[in-house]
Structures are given as C-alpha cells and as structure tokens.
Amino acid sequence: MSAPSARSKFKAILKNSTAAGLAVAMLAGALPVAVAPAYAEAVKVEAAQVPSFADVVEAVSPAVVSVRVQSNVEQTADSSNFSFGFGGRGFEDLPDDHPLKRFFKEFGGPDGEQYGERRPDRMPHGGKGRLRPTSQGSGFFISEDGYIVTNNHVIDDGVAFTIVMNDGKELDAKLVGKDSRTDLALLKVDNPKQKFTYVTFAEDENMRVGDWVVAVGNPFGLGGTVTAGIISARGRDIGSGPYDDYIQIDAAVNRGNSGGPDFNLAGEVVGINTAIFSPSGGNVGIAFAIPASVAKDVIEKLKDGGTVQRGWLGVQIQPVTQDIADSLGLSEPSGALVVAPQAGSPGGKAGIKQGDVITAVNGEPVKDPRDLARRIAAFDPATTVDVSIWREGKASSLKVELGELPSEQALAGPESQNGDATQAPATEQALAGMGLSVTPAEDGKGLTIVDVDPDSDAADKGMKAGEKITSVNNQSVATAADVLKVLDQAKKDGRTKALFQIESENGSRFVALPIEQG
C-alpha cells in the first residue's frame, strides 16, 4: 500500500480533531446535541429594554408648535435686502443652487413675500415700516380652543405672531398676556372651526429627581425635535429673579427650545424650558424649566385678565446664614432678614423694622428670601396676612395688609449722605479683636471703615475700607465706644457673634462677625 499523501493526512487530522472537539463540548454541555450550522447567526440578547418614548411623542406632538415672532422695523434705503453677512448682499444675490438660498426661500412668507417682509396692507400701524423676524421659539396648546403657552422672552417686543403646527400648517395668533417675572406668555389662535389637540400640566408633588422627561420643541428652527433625559434637580435658583424655582433637566435643550414643554411618561407637562447653562452656547446637559405649578397659576391669571397681580410686602431682605442666626439667637438659619423696609411700603407701615427676621407667613414657616417672595406673591393685593418675626431675641407677629407689587420695583437703597465738608477729620480707632479700624462718619450717623485686616473674619466676609457700619445687633452706633458697648452686652447674653449692618454704594447688607471672648 502506498504511503498516504500529505493532503490526505491533513484531512484525516482535521476530521478527527473536529470530531473530538465536538464530542468534548457535547459532554461538557457547552453545545446542544444538534451540530450548529457552519454559517453565522444574528445576535439576539434577551435583556430588559429601556422604555420607548414613541407612544408619548406620538400623542403629544400635535399639541407642540413653533412660535415665530415679528417686530416693526422702520423702512430704510437698503431694507429690501435681508442681509446675512454675505458681504452686504441679500440672499437673493446668491447662486440659485446655493443651499442657503434654497433654505431662505423655503421659509418665505405667503404670496411670494420674502421671509421677514409683509405687504403694506398686512402691516400694523398703517403700513409704516415693515415686519421683520426677531425671534423663534416653541410653545404648546393648553386648550382645544387655541390657547398657547410660551416664554415671555420669545414674544417680547413682538407685534405679529405665527404658530407653525407639527403638520406644517401656519396660523396667526394674538398676545393675550405676559409676565416677565416668571418668563411666561399666553397666545391665542382664533379658529372656531378647529379643535386643537392640547396637553395638561402635571402635579408637582408627583415629580421626583430621576424621573424621565421628554422635551419637544423647535431648536435652531428644526420644529418637532424630540430629546429625552431625567429631572436632575429641583428648586434651582439661577439668579434671574426673586421667583426662581426651576426644574433642572439633562435632556438636550438648545436655542429655539424656549417655551417648549417637558413631558413625563404620562404625557403631562412637568416644565417649560426657559434657560440653559452653556459656556459654548450649545447644549451641555444642564437646562432649566419653569415648574408646572408655577406655570399653571400664572397662565390662569393671564387668561383671566392678561396680567398677574401679586401681593407686595415692600422690604429688602437677605438670607439668614448660620453666623447671622448665632448673632441673633435663632436656633436655626432660616427665614428672611430684613435689611430695610421701603418707605411707605405695607411692611414698613405695619411696623416691620430693619434687622427683623421674618420666620413665617400665616403660620407657614419661611425657609429663605425666595420662599418669602413666592409666598407673598401668591396672595392678591389688599390681602391681610400674619407675619411672624424675630426681634431682639423674641418672637412676635404683625398683621400686614399687602399692597400690589409695582411693575418696576426699585430696591430699597441707602439714602444719600451729605456730610459737612468743613467738619474736622475724626480720630481713627481700632475695634479690638474685629480686625477693623473705624472713624465716626462725617454725618454723625455710623462709623466709616478706614482699614480692614486682610487676615480677619471681616475681610473674609467682604467688608472693605470706605463702607459704613450703621448698626451692631440692630442698635445704632456713632463711635467705636458704642460698638464695644454692644459687643460687651452680647457677651453677657452668651452670644458668640454680632450682627453688623454695612452700607456701601451697592446698598445695605448684614454681616455676622465673631466676638472675641477674652
């Protein structure tokens, strides 16, 4: 018998090794009894899936709209061109196949008008000037008869409003009312023949940090855009006003999403997008929305009368820190410290004084100045409320008939001080252990700070030379001796800190400083 060829030997080895490998695998339970096919199969993973938002989006999308806003612009010699930075040319000078020319033509007005222009017979004010686009945002229907919620900053200064529905249909809308303090506005589409799909507001108490939210809006003019994320935080203060109480979400929100809704998985509106935090101008996953409870209350008032009337106490306030609480003998750092009541204000007339801490309204505890502002604003003007205060180590209460919050409220500031220019300079004195050198103020009211030790608590709290100390522990001071007398009494009362009232060109504030116990 002839020796087997190398090729036949290789086949035999391959056959035997494959069979042996399959046999071992079958005995180990790694493979089924049936031999797997020689070709690859598609991978299928049996695992829990993230909930789809498709059903929510399909249900709510017809209620979400794009809002286009136009304002009057005086006609100029070259105002027939809508320039976008192409060397002074209008978009009509671009080549026909240029994508930007196609884009702007696509967004043209009715009857061949260029986007941003309207015929004189369609212009307000007798056709003087022309209408030009000034902003574009989002909004949503809250009733079948055409009421639409959006942001105040979207429609501010606009004279003509166009609603673009998710099917592309355009409708004219009119402004019902707006509220700059909460950045909300209400529009109305008058179309009796049509009933609009609308959405409702959620209840705030059912919202939790970590819940899913779906944002639907018009970022960068791209209507009907959907993004998803979670509620990242609640009660955010971003410094936009006294009523800040925003929901923070991480869903992608960009320019044009303003006024658009954030939905929960039940299709209810939990918030209205109003601001983003963005060093670059784009989305970084931090967006802020007006909570449903705030929006619901404001929108109802706008629908009734076109304006929002709020109660007004008329006091300048600041937070109560732990240091301030210690200096006043409060058990915890809560409430709102009155820096100054405004002249003629309801709070001033009722007897609220500088240095009082407002701790409750109608028996409901006040957490901080924002909480007080929201509580007072929730009352109608002329409502009488019980205001609980902490004064000179004792609790008491006052009845205050609230006024109406002025449209442009001026913060209470220090009155101008006119010193006698011929008065001889006073002697500089050091306040022992406070890190401050002071001299009597030229008007005889308070002490002017001459120097601040950079290593002192006073420096750490921001006290500066040139500022004035007007009171310590709510007692007026005119000399260094007055201050030391108040500090000695505070030591006897067991206080570890004293409350200094400071006046500067920026207004008045309170600073708590530790008392030297030696």
User: What percent of the chain stands above pLDDT 70?
Assistant: 75
Domain(s) of CATH 2.40.10.10: residues in the chain: 62-188, 204-305
Active site residue 183: yes
**Architecture of the domain spanning 429-514:** Roll (2.30)
Task: Check whether 398 has a pLDDT greater than 50.
Answer: yes
Whether the CB-CB separation of 223 and 242 falls below 8 Å is answered with no
pLDDT at position 432, please? Answer: 66
CATH fold, domain 311-404, is Pdz3 Domain (2.30.42)
Query: Quick one: CA dihedral 409, 410, 411, 412, positive or negative?
Result: negative
Range of lowest pLDDT (49-58, 121-130, 266-275): 121-130
Q: What is the pLDDT of residue 236?
A: 87
* Cα gap 229→289, rounded to integer Å: 13
Lowest-pLDDT choice from 164-168, 400-404, 408-412: 408-412
pLDDT of 59: 95
Type of residue at 139: G
Q: How far is CA 170 from each of CA 92, 165, 319, 452, rounded to the nearest angstrom? A: 24, 6, 48, 64
The Cα 129–Cα 160 span in angstroms is 13
- Cβ proximity of 177 and 142 under 8 Å: no
The model's confidence at residue 214, banded by pLDDT at 50, 70 and 90, is very high
pLDDT of residue 79: 37
Whether 289 and 247 have beta carbons less than 8 Å apart is answered as yes
pLDDT at 470 over 60: yes
User: How would residue 223 be classed by pLDDT, with cut points 50, 70 and 90?
Assistant: confident
Separation between Cα atoms, residue 513 and residue 326, nearest integer Å: 10
| Overall average pLDDT of the 509-517 stretch | 82
Interacting residues of 377 by C-beta distance below 8 A, sequence separation 6+: 242, 243, 310, 311, 405
- Kindly indicate the confidence band of residue 38, based on its pLDDT and cuts at 50, 70 and 90: low
Residue ranges of the chain assigned to CATH 2.30.42.10 = 311-404, 429-514
- pLDDT score at 24: 42
* The CATH number of the domain covering residues in 204-305: 2.40.10.10
Flag the least confident range among 27-36, 60-69, 135-144, 178-187: 27-36
Q: What are the residue ranges of helices labelled H in 107-238?
A: 152-155
Q: What angle do CA 274, 293, 199 make, to 5 degrees?
A: 75
Residue 370 CA from chain centroid, whole number: 13
pLDDT cut 90: percent of the chain above it: 37
Fold of 62-188: Thrombin, subunit H (2.40.10)
Q: How many secondary structure helices (H) and strands (E) does the chain include? A: 10, 29
Structure tokens at 403: 């006024």
> Exposure string (b/e) for 186-217, b if CB count within 10 Å is 16 or more?
bbbbeeeeeebebbebbebeebeeeebbbbbb
Residues 153-203: tens digit of each pLDDT? 999 888 899 999 999 999 999 999 999 888 999 999 998 889 999 999 999
pLDDT band at 73 (very low <50, low <70, confident <90, very high): low
Which residue did the predictor score with more confidence, 330 or 97? Answer: 330
| Res 401: pLDDT | 94
Q: How far apart are CA 9 and CA 3, in angstroms?
A: 10
258 is catalytic: yes
Query: CA-CA distance, 472 to 459, in Å (whole number)?
Result: 17
Instruction: Label residue 456 by pLDDT band (50, 70, 90).
Output: confident
Can you give the pTM of this predicted structure? 0.62
10 has pLDDT over 90: no
Determine which of 38-47, 264-273, 307-316, 503-512 has the lowest per-residue pLDDT on average.
38-47
In this prediction, residue 306 carries a pLDDT of 86
Structure tokens at 221: 């003019």
One-letter amino acid for residue 242 of the chain: P
Q: Which of 66, 135, 153, 244 is catalytic?
A: 153
| Residue 506 pLDDT level (bands cut at 50, 70, 90) | confident
Task: Output the average pLDDT for the chain.
Answer: 78
Q: Which of 107-111, 322-326, 402-406, 421-425 has the highest mean pLDDT?
A: 322-326
Per-residue pLDDT tens over the stretch 76-91: 443 333 333 333 334 4
Catalytic one of 66, 135, 138, 183: 183
The active-site residue, picked from 66, 138, 258, 508, is 258
- Given a cut of 70, whether residue 387 has pLDDT beyond it is yes
